[in-house]
A and B are shown apart, each in its own frame.
Chain A
Amino acid sequence: MVFNFPAFSYIIALIVDAFLIFFSLFHVIAFDELKTDYKNPIDQCNSLNPLVLPEYLLHLLFNVLFAAAGEWYSLLINMPLIAYHINRYRTRPVMSGPGLYDPTSIMNADTLTRCQREGWIKLAFYLLSFFYYLYGMIYCLIST
């Protein structure tokens, strides 16, 4: 039983990942609300946009830890998502504040479905990786 840096990075990843799961749940619900006309797109974008960068940064944070700890395999699993995040933010619509979602284009059926699908996929990914980090943490802790 050794508490080393990789184990620490996995613990952080576990905690952060739990947050990310909540983020993507919120994301899915928000888009569902938009689809079913419960919310005004302007309000919805105002509540979604501030959460985009924190989510990306949190995700990046534990990956930096993975890199520092030399957990290359875990890093590799997360690489595609990091690349996707960077690309997504790079190609965001012109807007002055942070965030991705533009109230004028978000109601397009294609955009809505894409965003909702993105939410579900991310949710699944974070959930699966949650268990993987749990395993990784235990593995690091018990291996000497």
Chain B
Amino acid sequence: MMNTQANIPEQSLPNGLPPQFGRSNTIPTVLPFNGVDSSHSSRTSSPADRLQQIPASQLPPSRSAIPMSQLPPSVAKSGSNIGQITQNYANLNISHMTPNTSPKIQPSGTSTPLVNASKPEISSEGISPIRVQNTFMHSRPNNFENAHAHARNASYTNGQPPPIVNQSQTAPLKPNESNNLYTQKPVANGPPEIPPFNNPSVLRPQPAPVMYQSVALPAPQLNSVRPNNRVTAVRPSYPPMGPQVSQPPQIPLQPSIPPQQQTSVPPKTNRYPQPAPQFQTNLPTQYQNFGGTMQQNFQNQRMPPPANIVQSGFNKMWGQENFDLLQCPNILPPNKVEAPRIHLGQDYLDAANCSSDIFRCTMTKIPETSSLLQKSRLPLGILIHPFKDLDHLPVIQCSTIVRCRACRTYINPFVFFVDMKRWKCNLCYRVNELPEEFQFDPVTKTYGDPSRRPEIKSSTIEYIAPSEYMLRPPQPAVYLFLLDVSHAAIESGYLHTFCNVLTTCLSDMPGDARTQVGFIAYNSALHFYCLAEGLSQPHEMIVLDVDDVFLPCPDNLVVNLSERKELVTDLLAQLPTRFLSSHDTGSALGAALQAAHKLISCTGGRITVFQATLPTIGPGALTVREDPNQRAGIEVHNLNPANDFYKRLALECSGQQIAVDLFILNSQYVDLATISGISRFSGGCMYHFPLFKASRTLQAEHLERSLKRYLTRKIGFEAVMRIRCTRGLSIHTFHGNFFVRSTDLLSLPNVNPEAGFGMQVSIDESLSDLHTVCFQVALLYTSSKGERRIRVHTLCIPVASTLSDILASADQQCIVGLLAKMAVDRSMQSSLADAREAFLNVAIDILSSYKLSLNMGTGEGSGLQVSNSLRLLPLYISALLKFVAFRTGTSTRLDDRVKAMCDMKTLPLYLLIQQIYPDLYPIHNLPEQNTISKDGELIPQPPQLQLSARSLDSKGAFLMDAGEHMIILVGPSVSDIFLNEALGVPNYNAITDQMYDLPILDTLHNQRLNSFINSLNEEKPFVATLQIIKENSPNRSLFIERLIEDRIETALSYHEFLQHLKTQVK
């Protein structure tokens, strides 16, 4: 392999560049400059200068779009429930704290009056350090204790009050605090009482111990401070602390600043050189009295040379500016988080590159060596959604598919043309002959330049494969349905829904005239349905012997759909009532699966299982392993299968090209950890409807919609997927539902448009002599129409050599997607606590390495720096720690957890992100929002809000989009106009608990809302269910529990999480 590269004809490749590169010579010379520059300029430019560079339109998330009048003046007055909740938390905290705090927080054992004095404040804030300790106790036992001990020791040695600042800092993220904050807003909105330049890292007392005395203010002064002005109240009591904990009380400031100001304070500032000493010494008074003038002074003093302005401007342009996380609580961009673009240096290559919806890498620039990758601490991997429904997909039918003779790579836009007759593979660098016909352009019907071919123009392409790509002739589409008819299943009533949906979808199921269907019902016996020709109605055959399964008759159990349609509809009409009188509680799932496997093993196909109870008899019988009392425990057991029956069966199915899909409709434990094996290794998919009852409208609707989508969506049979990558890289680990048949080949008996896959990639050899690397995924499948097709996706990524480049090129969402998959593996192989710790370590490592790349030393006073490209990573990680799959302390059913883990492994990225961090939008003022026009319809674009109670407002209504569900929360004092016009209810009290859809009215409000919701639904596989709840309804918790940035009983708030990270980042 090494030789091949040495043999590259030199003339064709100046500097080892492909001819395209050589010709136009636009290789990004910026790269090295870029890399060196970022660290340099960010060190020397001041925030004020940056500000000048940033056009207003580029400024970070502005909730300024919400008119002031819509902001909550006082949530408390109207008896806000959110307020109450947090009040409760506050109480909880107090009671927990008093017994616990003293021994832990005071390692020195001293209890000074000062400590006591601080206690009331702690409790009033509802945050106690001990809570922080508790939540992370299992993973990083001593971090917080140490930090506190450290801080305390430092302050004691200086004779200072204990660190109550920590408590007050965390406070504002608590929802109940928002009451006073909101009321403050108008005040702050006027002539700024708080100077816009309130970046506390400037004002922060720097470590000189001498000045502690001067900072400490006498107690009376503290009391004299107006109670509602938190800024001044906090400031004087702020004690100097050790380097770890010493943070400015910036966060308390934040919410009280009106959003406009918030944005005008450059959030990515933070990079101040050490403030001049005179600022430090007389800082408190100056700050209180002459905040505005001081800012001016400061700006004058810090005026940097003009070069820095240019540099910071460039940094901004390249997305390399950095943020201080602790200073920007509103970190989400106003619109959807966009995938970072890959810049290959040439526009036509950029345009040809694979869409980020389909193929994404965790970095938009690949580090050239594995040691550089190590240094960046980012995970390297790709996420792929290969069978996504596409609007424009070039399909090619040709006699020979052009592929590299050495590595079998398909020709793609990133290959190099040596001359008209030869091309050089971009994965293995072999020079191949180009067939004659490739020079023929089918569009213009002329011979000539091969680069006009669709293969060269688009990196997502589908070939209709000739017969050498078939092991056997394409098989018909075979759908077999296994229906649980045990007592619990009948009680849940899913059969009605299933039979109704299937009857309506029978003709829409993908397939041709050969499509076959079959049904097996099972409780403690197997019920086969013979649909033979000439029968007037389906014939039921019951097999009681489930231990040694046999098929009661050789044929007519799976029949041609178009020929026996009447019989099938007849059966579907009879099934729901057939088992109503049965009280059989057994479930012979294993036997049913074995029978199904026998039934369709010669053709392959799809088995759809509806399971409502734990399989209790026959092969694969399981026992209850979950202890309901341990649901909230720290340690989670039984995440691994109890036996390997389902896995072995799945492998057998996979060998026969059969995929098994699961619909779990359980009301009790079904041991999904074991059963899911049947789908996981056979390339199936899973749906979960916990506590399903057909009588519950929302669940019934959800089942109906997912089932409809499931039955009618595209399907590929007998699929294999191969992933190739440039020499020097190798695929390390695969994530998703499939069986790995060899190092780069995945066997997927079925592939569906909602299947996502992830691969970890490792760098084996140095890539320093390359400019780009490529990944190519080829999915070979049989379409439901019996055609063999190959869908090829190619992704090309440039190589970079500097750490700052790598960090600036990170794709945060993709990283989170990959991390979630890795964490699932970790939880199964090791333990959940390990996985949670790994999440924390990743966040800490990445932030540390960014700090390292800034080259600024380990001094304190820099907040928590993060680059633009990674700024949401801590947010997503804190969300993952509270996600059903990985949370501890909150009661979580084992099945729900396992299902959430499976989702993490298989969901495509955009759905995965929405699961862990749902989108929240204000919808009470949609007509005033910006709109974009699409197909003649105006779609409003409300800003995305942080998932925190402080984003909420009693005068507003909010839509939370969590993928398959949407929830609208209506505040108690929302205007009647909105209720009338948008929701079609006369007043607030008329909103019932059973509002599951939005009426269609002829009002502007309603039209905008409907078009907005429809636009959200367009991206989803099926229309999400909608639930409208008012703020005092019992269902409110559905909404509130997803506000994951807030502290809950057992987990840190986002801000506390950041504080914890800060203590750890070295």
A residues adjacent to B (C-beta < 8 A)? 34-35, 37, 40-42, 93-96, 102-104, 107-110, 112
Tell me which of A93, A94, A96 has the highest count of chain B C-beta atoms within 10 A of its own C-beta: A94
> Are A107 and B743 neighbours in the complex by a CB distance under 8 Å?
yes
B43 CB → nearest A CB, Å: 39
> Are A109 and B740 neighbours in the complex by a CB distance under 8 Å?
no
What 6 A-B pairs are tightest by C-beta distance, nearest first?
Answer: A107-B740, A37-B742, A109-B732, A95-B644, A108-B733, A94-B644
For the complex, give the distance between the alpha carbons of A135 and B640 in Å.
Answer: 48
Which residues of B have CB within 8 Å of A40?
Answer: 741-742
For the complex, give the distance between the alpha carbons of A103 and B651 in Å.
Answer: 9
Instruction: Out of B645, B730, B731, B739, name the residue touching A96 (CB < 8 Å).
Output: B645
B370 CB → nearest A CB, Å: 13
> Are A96 and B681 neighbours in the complex by a CB distance under 8 Å?
no
With A108-B733, A109-B730, A109-B762 in contact, do A37 and B740 touch (Cβ < 8 Å)? no
> Are A110 and B732 neighbours in the complex by a CB distance under 8 Å?
yes
B759 CB → nearest A CB, Å: 10
With A94-B643, A96-B645, A96-B648 in contact, do A109 and B731 touch (Cβ < 8 Å)? yes
Tell me which of A40, A96, A104 has the highest count of chain B C-beta atoms within 10 A of its own C-beta: A104
B479 CB → nearest A CB, Å: 25
For the complex, give the distance between the alpha carbons of A35 and B733 in Å.
Answer: 13
Interface string of B495-534 (1 = CB under 8 A from A): 0000000000000000000000000000000000000000
For the complex, give the distance between the alpha carbons of A114 and B641 in Å.
Answer: 23
> Are B732 and A42 neighbours in the complex by a CB distance under 8 Å?
no
Q: Is B273 in contact with chain A by the CB < 8 A criterion?
A: no
Which residues of B have CB within 8 Å of A41?
Answer: 740-742
Interface string of B95-131 (1 = CB under 8 A from A): 0000000000000000000000000000000000000
Within 8 A of A (CB), among B618-676: 640-645, 647-648, 651, 655
Instruction: Out of B645, B647, B730, B744, name the residue touching A104 (CB < 8 Å).
Output: B647
Which residues of B have CB within 8 Å of A42?
Answer: 651, 655
Instruction: Out of A94, A107, A108, A109, name the residue touching B742 (CB < 8 Å).
Output: A107
> Are B740 and A94 neighbours in the complex by a CB distance under 8 Å?
no
Tell me if A's interface is mostly helix, strand, loop or mixed. loop
Q: Nearest residue in A to B677 (C-beta to C-beta)?
A: A104
Q: Nearest residue in A to B647 (C-beta to C-beta)?
A: A104
> Are B733 and A94 neighbours in the complex by a CB distance under 8 Å?
no
Tell me if B's interface is mostly helix, strand, loop or mixed. mixed
> Are A35 and B743 neighbours in the complex by a CB distance under 8 Å?
yes
> Are B745 and A94 neighbours in the complex by a CB distance under 8 Å?
no
Further 19 A-B residue pairs, CB within 8 A, beyond A41-B742, A108-B740 = A35-B743, A37-B745, A40-B742, A41-B740, A42-B651, A93-B644, A94-B640, A94-B641, A94-B642, A96-B643, A96-B644, A96-B645, A96-B648, A102-B644, A104-B647, A104-B740, A107-B734, A108-B732, A112-B743
For the complex, give the distance between the alpha carbons of A99 and B333 in Å.
Answer: 53
Q: Nearest residue in A to B745 (C-beta to C-beta)?
A: A37
B651 CB → nearest A CB, Å: 6
Within 8 A of A (CB), among B744-768: 744-745, 762
For the complex, give the distance between the alpha carbons of A43 and B744 in Å.
Answer: 17
B937 CB → nearest A CB, Å: 48
> Are B733 and A109 neighbours in the complex by a CB distance under 8 Å?
yes
Q: Nearest residue in B to A39 (C-beta to C-beta)?
A: B742
Pull 19 A–B residue pairs with CB atoms less than 8 Å apart, ordered by A.
Answer: A34-B742, A34-B743, A41-B740, A41-B741, A41-B742, A94-B641, A94-B643, A94-B644, A95-B644, A96-B643, A96-B644, A96-B645, A104-B647, A104-B740, A107-B741, A107-B742, A108-B732, A110-B733, A112-B743
A38 CB → nearest B CB, Å: 9
B597 CB → nearest A CB, Å: 15
A104 CB → nearest B CB, Å: 5
Which residues of A have CB within 8 Å of B741?
Answer: 40-41, 107
Which residues of B have CB within 8 Å of A34?
Answer: 742-743
With A41-B740, A109-B732 in contact, do A104 and B651 touch (Cβ < 8 Å)? yes
Please report the total number of B residues contacting A with Cβ < 8 Å: 24
For the complex, give the distance between the alpha carbons of A1 and B533 in Å.
Answer: 88
Which residues of A have CB within 8 Å of B742?
Answer: 34, 37, 40-41, 107
Tell me which of B645, B730, B739 has the highest count of chain A C-beta atoms within 10 A of its own C-beta: B739
B911 CB → nearest A CB, Å: 25
For the complex, give the distance between the alpha carbons of A107 and B642 in Å.
Answer: 22
Which residues of A have CB within 8 Å of B641?
Answer: 94
Q: Nearest residue in B to A91 (C-beta to C-beta)?
A: B829
B686 CB → nearest A CB, Å: 16
Q: Nearest residue in B to A112 (C-beta to C-beta)?
A: B743
For the complex, give the distance between the alpha carbons of A94 and B655 in Å.
Answer: 21
For the complex, give the distance between the alpha carbons of A102 and B650 in Å.
Answer: 13
B971 CB → nearest A CB, Å: 50
Q: Nearest residue in A to B681 (C-beta to C-beta)?
A: A104
For the complex, give the distance between the alpha carbons of A144 and B229 in Å.
Answer: 97
For the complex, give the distance between the alpha carbons of A34 and B641 in Å.
Answer: 25
Which residues of B have CB within 8 Å of A93?
Answer: 644
Which residues of A have CB within 8 Å of B644?
Answer: 93-96, 102
Which residues of B have CB within 8 Å of A96?
Answer: 643-645, 648
Which residues of B have CB within 8 Å of A95?
Answer: 644
Which residues of B have CB within 8 Å of A112?
Answer: 743
For the complex, give the distance between the alpha carbons of A4 and B689 in Å.
Answer: 71
Q: Nearest residue in A to B730 (C-beta to C-beta)?
A: A109
For the complex, give the distance between the alpha carbons of A42 and B645 in Å.
Answer: 15
Tell me which of B640, B642, B651, B742 has the highest count of chain A C-beta atoms within 10 A of its own C-beta: B742
For the complex, give the distance between the alpha carbons of A107 and B745 in Å.
Answer: 10
Which residues of A have CB within 8 Å of B762?
Answer: 109
Q: Nearest residue in A to B652 (C-beta to C-beta)?
A: A42
With A104-B651, A109-B731 in contact, do A37 and B743 touch (Cβ < 8 Å)? yes
Q: Nearest residue in B to A45 (C-beta to C-beta)?
A: B651
Which residues of A have CB within 8 Å of B655?
Answer: 42
For the complex, give the distance between the alpha carbons of A124 and B745 in Å.
Answer: 32
For the complex, give the distance between the alpha carbons of A77 and B963 in Å.
Answer: 59
For the complex, give the distance between the alpha carbons of A94 and B640 in Å.
Answer: 8
For the complex, give the distance between the alpha carbons of A103 and B650 in Å.
Answer: 12
Which residues of A have CB within 8 Å of B681?
Answer: 104
Which residues of A have CB within 8 Å of B732?
Answer: 108-110
Which residues of A have CB within 8 Å of B745?
Answer: 37
Which residues of A have CB within 8 Å of B647?
Answer: 102, 104
Within 8 A of A (CB), among B1002-1019: none
For the complex, give the distance between the alpha carbons of A42 and B762 in Å.
Answer: 25
A123 CB → nearest B CB, Å: 23
B524 CB → nearest A CB, Å: 23
Which residues of A have CB within 8 Å of B743?
Answer: 34-35, 37, 107, 109, 112
A122 CB → nearest B CB, Å: 23
B547 CB → nearest A CB, Å: 15
For the complex, give the distance between the alpha carbons of A44 and B983 in Å.
Answer: 62
Which residues of A have CB within 8 Å of B642?
Answer: 94
Which residues of A have CB within 8 Å of B730?
Answer: 109
For the complex, give the distance between the alpha carbons of A93 and B743 in Å.
Answer: 21
B731 CB → nearest A CB, Å: 7
> Are A104 and B739 neighbours in the complex by a CB distance under 8 Å?
yes
For the complex, give the distance between the alpha carbons of A31 and B9 in Å.
Answer: 37
For the complex, give the distance between the alpha carbons of A77 and B410 in Å.
Answer: 54
B656 CB → nearest A CB, Å: 12
For the complex, give the distance between the alpha carbons of A35 and B899 in Å.
Answer: 32
For the complex, give the distance between the alpha carbons of A112 and B734 in Å.
Answer: 13
A56 CB → nearest B CB, Å: 20
For the complex, give the distance between the alpha carbons of A65 and B860 in Å.
Answer: 65
For the complex, give the distance between the alpha carbons of A127 and B732 in Å.
Answer: 32
Which residues of B have CB within 8 Å of A35?
Answer: 743
For the complex, give the distance between the alpha carbons of A93 and B734 in Å.
Answer: 18
Within 8 A of A (CB), among B825-860: none
B673 CB → nearest A CB, Å: 10
Which residues of B have CB within 8 Å of A103?
Answer: 651, 739
For the complex, give the distance between the alpha carbons of A35 and B745 in Å.
Answer: 12
Q: Nearest residue in A to B733 (C-beta to C-beta)?
A: A108
A84 CB → nearest B CB, Å: 19
Which residues of B have CB within 8 Å of A108?
Answer: 732-734, 740
For the complex, give the distance between the alpha carbons of A41 and B739 in Å.
Answer: 10
